[in-house]
Structure 1
Amino acid sequence: MPCCLTAPHALLRTLHSIARPPDAVSAVAAVDLELVTLTEDMAVITWHTGVESEGEVVYGTHPAHLNRTASEGRDTAHHYVELTDLEPGQTYYYQARSRGSVATPTPLHLVSGNAVGTSLHGFGSHGGPYSFTTPQPPPGRHVLSIALCNDLHLGETTAGLVTGMPLMRGISQRLGLGPYPEIMGRALVEEAHRRGAGHLLAAGDISAGGAPRDLAEARRLLDGFGTHGRDYFVVRGNHDRRGRQGLQEGRGDNFLDAFPANGGPGGESAYFARDLGGLRIVGLDTYEKKGSGAGSGGLSDEQLAWFRADVRAHKDQPTVVFGHHPLTVRNSPFPVTGGQRLNRRQARAILDAYAAAPGVFLHHAGHTHRNKRTVLPQARHVTLQEVGAVKEYPGGFCLLRIHTGGYALNYYKASSDPAREWSERSRRVAAGLWPQYALGRSVRDRNSVVVRDLSGITPAVARRPALRGAV
C-alpha cells in the first residue's frame, strides 16, 4: 500500500467522493492551512481543498467573537485570503473555512514548528481558532522596498530530484501546462510589483544548468521587472555554472553573456557593489570556482580580498549583502552536508568582516530552498536570511521594507492561479515532507521586524515599467 504522503491530492479527491450523510454531502477536506505573511496591518492565510469551493477566514480580537470575515469572492481549490486593516500590536484569532469545513494546519512536527501562528490558549490542531499578534511597524518613515528572491531554475523539468535519495524522486508539471519555472518567474515579477518593490535582488540559481537559452529566458522574465543593473541585480549560483565540457573547451561565460558585468572589480565579474540612495548593495558570486555545481560554495581569493576591503571601507554605511550559498545551515530535518553552505573558512572570514562593520544589517542567501532567519553571536547586528525558492513550494519571495528607524522582512507566496496550483503540487517533494523544511518552522523565520538607525538611506530613483506583454 503506497504511503498517503506521496499522493495527497488523490487522497483528497477520494475523501471527497466517499458517500456522506445527507447533511454533509457538500463538505470538503480543507487542509494545509498556513499563516504565510504577517505584517503590522495585514496577514496572508492559505489552505487547500480537493475541489473548487468558496473560502473565507473569520477572525476577531477574542476567540469567542470572530466577528470579521475575509473571503476570496470566488471558488478555487487553492485558497489565498488577505486580512487587511489590522492594528499593530494586536492579537487576533481566526479560523479558515470552506463549505463549512474548518481548515487544518500543515503539520510541522519534524521541526517542532507551527504553520498557523500560535495556540497559546489551549486550542487544538483540528481547526483552531488559531492566533497571531501583529508586530509594530519599523519606526520612522518608509524609504524603499526590495524584493529578495532566488532559485528560479529556468529550464528545470522535475522539482526535488536528488540522485541516490529514495525520498527525493521529484515532482513534474501536469501534462498540458506550461513549464513551472516560467510560471513561477512570471508570478514573481507580478507579485513583486504588486507588493511595491522598487528593486529586486536575485540570489543565484537563475537557471537549472547554465544553458544559454535558459539564462536568456530568465533575463526576459526579469526584464519585466525593470532594467538589469539599475532596478534589479543578479548573482550566480552553483546551477548557473556551465558544465564540465564547456569548462574544458574554454567556452565563454554564459551567465555573464545573459547578465553582463555589473561593473565589479576587473570588469567582467559576477560580483559587485552598488549604492542605492545611501544603501550599499553587495552581490557575491558564491560559486566562483570550477566544477559541476556540487560541493560547498566558494569565492576566489581575489573576490574575498575585494569583499573584505569593500566592507571595511564602507563599514558604517547601511549595507545589504546577497549571495547564493548561506554562511551557515541550522535546524534542518534533513542531513546537512558541506554542499549546502559556503566554505567554512570563507564564511568565518565574512562573519569577521561583519563584526567590524556595524553598517551591515542583512545577508540574503538562497540555495537551501527554505525560509530561515539566523542571528549569530559573531555579528548579532546582521540578520542571515535564507529565502524559499521561487520555482517550487512555497514559491515566492521576501519583501525587505526599509524605514528610517528599522526594517521588516515579509515572505509572500506568488498568488496567480497557475502559481498556486504548482506550489501545492510541488509540496509533495520528499514524499510530502517538503513543508517541514521549506516553509520555515516559525512565523518569525519568514516575517520579522528589526529596529535600528537607517536614517542615512534616502529613496533611490527606480523606474518600474508596466508589466510587459512578454511577461
Structure 2
Amino acid sequence: MAAPDAFDVSTPTRGRLLVTDLEVLTVTPTSAIISWVTHAARLGRAIPQPIAVGTEMAIGPVGGPMQLVHDDPTPRVYHVVEITGLEPGRTYQFQASSGGKPAMAALRPTRIVGGCERTRQFTTLTVPDGRYLTTVAVANDIHIGERRQGIVLGGLPTSVTPRPDQADYARMMGVSALNELATRHGRPLLITNGDITYDNSPEQNAIARELLDSYGSQNQDWVATRGNHDHPRRDDDPFGDYFVGYQQAQAVQETSGLRILAMDSTRGSGGGWITPGQYAQVTAELDSDPDRPTLAATHHPVTTDAAWSSPSGPQFMLRGRDRLKLQLIERQAPGVFLHLAGHTHRMRRNRADLADTNTRYLENAACAAYPGGYTLIHLFEGGYLVNFWRLSDPAALSWIYRSRWQSLGIGAHLMLGSTADRNHRVDVDLSGLTPSGRPVPDELVC
C-alpha cells in the first residue's frame, strides 16, 4: 500500500514507533508551519523504515488553553501542519502528536535550551514599519543532474542514494520550487544562487535553462549566479553559454528599484575567489549609486564566521583575502543591506568581520535535498522579513525524508539552523525604494 504522502509503507514494520524530527519550520506574522516525521527505530538501518499514522495539532496563546486545530486520521509519514489566523508578535504554545505520542525534537538546533521545538513555543514575527515594497526569492544548490546526495568523504558511504522513482530528484525539487513560487507566492524575482547544475554539462544546463525560462525572463524574473559545481570545465563552459560568463558580475533592478548584485565567487570544484576584473565591475556598479538599497549574492559565504564554522573548513569557502575585500567594498556602499550565500546547504546567519557595516550576511539552505526549500525576503520601507519555506509537494517530502540521513545522519544537524535563522525581521531604512505594485502576501496581512 502507498501512503497518501507518496511513501512506500508496504514492508511490515519492525521496531517501535518514533514521532520525531519536530521542526518549527516557518513563522510569519500571522502563521506558522510545524512538521515532524514518524518512523520505526533505526535498528541499524541507514534510513529508518517509515510508518504512516495520523496527525494532530493543538495550539493556544501562552498562559491560555490550547485548542485542537488539526486532527487528520489520514496515515502519513511526513506531517506538516500550517496554522493561520495568528496574531503578530504573540507567543503561542503547541502540542504536535501522532499515534498517541507527542512529536519530539531530535536535531541539534531543535534541542538547544530555549529553542522553539524544546519549549514547544514560538513567537510570530511583526511586520516592519512603512509600506510593503516587494518580495524576492532565493533558491540555491539545485544540482540538476546529481544522482546521490551527501558526498563528503569520497568513496566512503556518506551519501544517500535515491529510490528508483527518485532518480531525478534534483529536477523534481527544482520544478517543485518554481511551481510553488509561481502559484502560491505570486512569482517573485528569483535569485538562483549557484550550483544550479551538478557538473556543468551541456545537458544539465539545457534542462536548467528550460526550467527557469518557464518561470520567466532572465534578469527580469530570475537571475542566475554560478556555483562551484558550475565551474568551467577544461575545454568548455556550458554554464557560460546558457547563463553568464565566468567571473562576471550582474546588476539587475527589480520593479521596486531594488538592485540585485549577483557575483561569481567560483574558482574550482570547492573553494572560491573573485578576480580583479570582477572587482572592477562590482566597485563601478556600487560607486555609481552607493546608497541604492542593494541585495548582494555570491554562492560562497563571505565571512570568516562562515568559513571557520563550516565542517568542511575554510578551504571550502571564499579565500580569506577576498572575504575581507568584498566586505570592505560593501561597507563603502551603505545601500548594501543583505548578502546572500549558499554552498554549505545550511541556514545560518553569519557575523560580519567588520563591526561598522550595514550589511547582514545569510547562508541559505539547499533546495535539492534536506532541508529542501527556498527563502522569501519581504521588503518594507522600514526593514525586511526572512522566511524559509520547505517544499510541500508529496514527492519532495518523500525525498527530503530520505536525504535527511545523508552524511551518516549527521548532515541534518548542521543544515537546518534555528527557527530564528530561518525566520527573522531586520530593521533597516529601505525608503529609497517604491512599492512594486505586487499584492501583499497573505501571511503579511495583519
TM-score, structure 2 as length reference: 0.86
- The one-letter code of the counterpart of 2:336 is V
- 1:43 and 1:435 map into 2 onto residues whose CA distance is 21
1:256 touches 1:270 (CA, 8 Å); kept in 2?
no
Q: Residue 407 of structure 2 aligns to a residue in which SS?
A: coil
- 1:14 and 1:355 map into 2 onto residues whose CA distance is 57
- Render the CA deviation track for 1:343-376: whole Å, top value 9, x for unaligned: 2111111111122221111101000110001242
2:56 touches 2:68 (CA, 8 Å); kept in 1?
no
CA shift for structure 1 position 103:
0.7
- Relative to 1, partners in 2 of residues 1:320 and 1:427: Cα closer, same or farther, differing over 3 Å? same
How do 1:134-283 and structure 2 match up within 5 A? 134-164=124-154, 166=156, 169-193=158-182, 194-244=184-234, 246=235, 251=236, 253-259=237-243, 270-276=248-254, 277-283=256-262
CA shift for structure 1 position 57:
1.5
- The one-letter code of the counterpart of 1:42 is S
Q: Any stretches of 5+ residues in structure 2 without a counterpart?
A: 1-8, 40-50, 440-446
- 2:264 and 2:343 map into 1 onto residues whose CA distance is 13
CA shift for structure 1 position 118:
5.4
- 1:165 and 1:445 map into 2 onto residues whose CA distance is 33
CA shift for structure 1 position 458:
2.2
How do 1:16-415 and structure 2 match up within 5 A? 16=16, 28-50=17-39, 51-62=51-62, 65-70=65-70, 74-108=74-108, 112=112, 116-117=116-117, 119=119, 130-164=120-154, 166=156, 169-193=158-182, 194-244=184-234, 246=235, 251=236, 253-259=237-243, 270-276=248-254, 277-287=256-266, 289=267, 291=268, 293-294=269-270, 296-328=271-303, 330=305, 335-376=311-352, 378=354, 379-415=356-392
- Relative to 1, partners in 2 of residues 1:79 and 1:255: Cα closer, same or farther, differing over 3 Å? same
- Relative to 1, partners in 2 of residues 1:452 and 1:346: Cα closer, same or farther, differing over 3 Å? same
- Relative to 1, partners in 2 of residues 1:89 and 1:64: Cα closer, same or farther, differing over 3 Å? closer
- 2:150 and 2:113 map into 1 onto residues whose CA distance is 22
- 2:70 and 2:380 map into 1 onto residues whose CA distance is 29
- 1:110 and 1:91 map into 2 onto residues whose CA distance is 17
CA shift for structure 1 position 106:
2.4
CA shift for structure 1 position 11:
12
- The percent of aligned pairs where both chains have the same amino acid is 33
- The one-letter code of the counterpart of 1:43 is A
- The one-letter code of the counterpart of 1:273 is A
Q: Answer with 169-178 or 427-436: which moved more.
A: 169-178
CA shift for structure 1 position 397:
0.9
- Relative to 1, partners in 2 of residues 1:453 and 1:334: Cα closer, same or farther, differing over 3 Å? closer
- 1:178 and 1:187 map into 2 onto residues whose CA distance is 15
- The one-letter code of the counterpart of 1:317 is R
1:264 matched residue in structure 2: none
- 1:359 and 1:110 map into 2 onto residues whose CA distance is 34
- 2:32 and 2:408 map into 1 onto residues whose CA distance is 29
1:237 touches 1:285 (CA, 8 Å); kept in 2?
yes
Q: Residue 172 of structure 1 aligns to a residue in which SS?
A: coil
CA shift for structure 1 position 388:
0.6
- 2:83 and 2:165 map into 1 onto residues whose CA distance is 34
- Give yes or no for the alignment of 1:422 onto 2:406: no
- The one-letter code of the counterpart of 2:181 is A
The alignment yields a C-alpha RMSD, in angstroms, of 2.7
- The one-letter code of the counterpart of 1:186 is V
TM-score, structure 1 as length reference: 0.82
CA shift for structure 1 position 104:
0.7
Q: Residue 79 of structure 1 aligns to a residue in which SS?
A: strand
1:209 touches 1:242 (CA, 8 Å); kept in 2?
no
How do 1:448-467 and structure 2 match up within 5 A? 448-460=424-436
CA shift for structure 1 position 234:
0.2
- Relative to 1, partners in 2 of residues 1:182 and 1:113: Cα closer, same or farther, differing over 3 Å? farther
